[in-house]
Amino acid sequence: MRKGQNPAKFVKDVAKPERITVALLNYIPFLSGFYAETLDVLKVSLESMRKDAGLPFDLMVFDNGSCEEVRDFLVKEKEEGRIQYLILSEKNMGKGGAWNVMLTGAPGEIIAYTDADVLFSPNWLFRSVEILETFPNVGMVTARPFRTLPEFYESTLKWAKDNATLDEGQFIEWNTFLEFNLSLGQTEEENKKVYAETKDRRIQYKNVTAIAGASHWQFTSYKSTLGQFLPFDMDKPMGQVRQLDKRMNDAGLLRLMVSDPLAMNMSNTLGYLRGELGKDKERGKTSSAKGKKVGIGRRVLEIGFIKKILLAVYNRIFSWYYS
């Protein structure tokens, strides 16, 4: 039997969400090995996105079954008002499963999605929304120019040829192109050939400049647009996220990037901030020149079939614990 009246009945005003929700997806199952620095990476990402974003936003974090230390950090961030919406999943739902929850549940009219390892520069959100609101029929805007597969932005080029100023050339500077690809584990030598043989497509419309292309690792979109592609049915935790890229292009939506780098992939370490990007090979050459020898244990580990077996064992153990 009810006693008295619920005090909430007398509340006349409720808080309204910001127009923009930044939605971050995080997964750190443990803090060793590959994931040893990832909590620090997450902290840097959060700090950089909040600093001079250019527009107000609410922050939603979806944690995809991380370890206790990471969950404790996120709960503290929420309690101190730095995260507005926090979802802690008991298990790893994969990226598709997490997207189904995040992109449906985010309260903002505009959703700026990001992986948890992205370093943002000032005005990243303002510049992304500027393109989103200036160009018509936009599917997604990524806050960094880089070279993506042309088959995923064919609809963008088709529209631009008839409705905007479209130019083809080397509009992404070499250093900007290289630093992003090095963060993916590629080498400088292989990128020289790719850079020389590929082009950028620059689109100018209503005095706003964008580069054709976008990507699933970071993008800004209207929630109503993303809703057209939900739910995502992915049977693997990773590797199938290009479904969004392809389906947006197939639907005739524009996929665009800002014209200068306002977001950077840090991957699983803070090596980019320490200036270590792409220097592993250089260090190896220096050590060799000085006559330093690689230990026999290391040489054994680099033997093809041994490396393959050990990595397979590592993957199996990882799967047992975290899939």
- Kindly indicate the confidence band of residue 15, based on its pLDDT and cuts at 50, 70 and 90: confident
Rounded distance between C-alpha atoms, residue 101 and residue 232, angstroms: 10
CA 187/CA 197 separation, integer angstroms: 16
Cα dist from 265 to 97, 184, 185, 289, 322, whole Å? 22, 8, 11, 32, 24
pLDDT at 323 over 70: no
* CATH 3.40.50.10540, applies to 20-265: no
Work out whether the CA dihedral 265, 146, 178, 171 comes out positive or negative.
Answer: negative
- The pLDDT of 92-102, averaged and rounded, is 92
Q: What is the pLDDT of residue 321?
A: 67
CA nearest neighbour of 153 among 250, 72, 241, 224? 250
Asked whether residue 20 carries a pLDDT value surpassing 70, the answer given is yes
Q: Is the pLDDT of residue 241 over 60?
A: yes
CA distance 177 to 146: 6
Tens digits of residue pLDDT in 25-60:
999 999 998 899 999 999 999 999 999 999 999 999
Q: In terms of pLDDT, which residue wins out, 179 or 293?
A: 179
- 20: tokens are 């923009």
Give the rounded percent of residues in the chain with a pLDDT score beyond 90. 69
**pLDDT by residue (tens digit) across 59-95?**
999 999 999 999 999 999 999 999 999 999 999 998 9
**Largest Cα–Cα distance of the chain, in whole Å?**
84
10-14 average pLDDT score: 68
Average confidence (pLDDT) over 204-226: 97
Compute φ and ψ for 224, nearest 5 degrees. -65, -35
User: Who wins on pLDDT, 192 or 311?
Assistant: 192
Q: What percent of the chain clears pLDDT 70, i.e. is strictly above it? A: 88
Residue type at 39? L
Residue 138 has pLDDT above 70, yes or no: yes
DSSP for 84-105, please give it. SEEEE-SS--HHHHHHHHHHHH
Is the per-residue pLDDT at 295 higher than 90?
no
Q: What is the mean pLDDT of residues 160-166?
A: 98
- Domain residue spans in the chain? 20-265, 280-322
- Other beta carbons within 10 angstroms of residue 49's beta carbon come to 22
Residue 125 has a pLDDT of: 98
Kindly report the average pLDDT of the chain as a whole number. 89
- Per-residue confidence (pLDDT) for residue 290, from 0 to 100: 41
Say if CB 71 and CB 63 are below 8 A apart.
Answer: yes
At residue 224, the pLDDT reads 97
Q: In this predicted structure, what is the pLDDT of residue 292?
A: 45
What is the structure's pLDDT at 283? 39
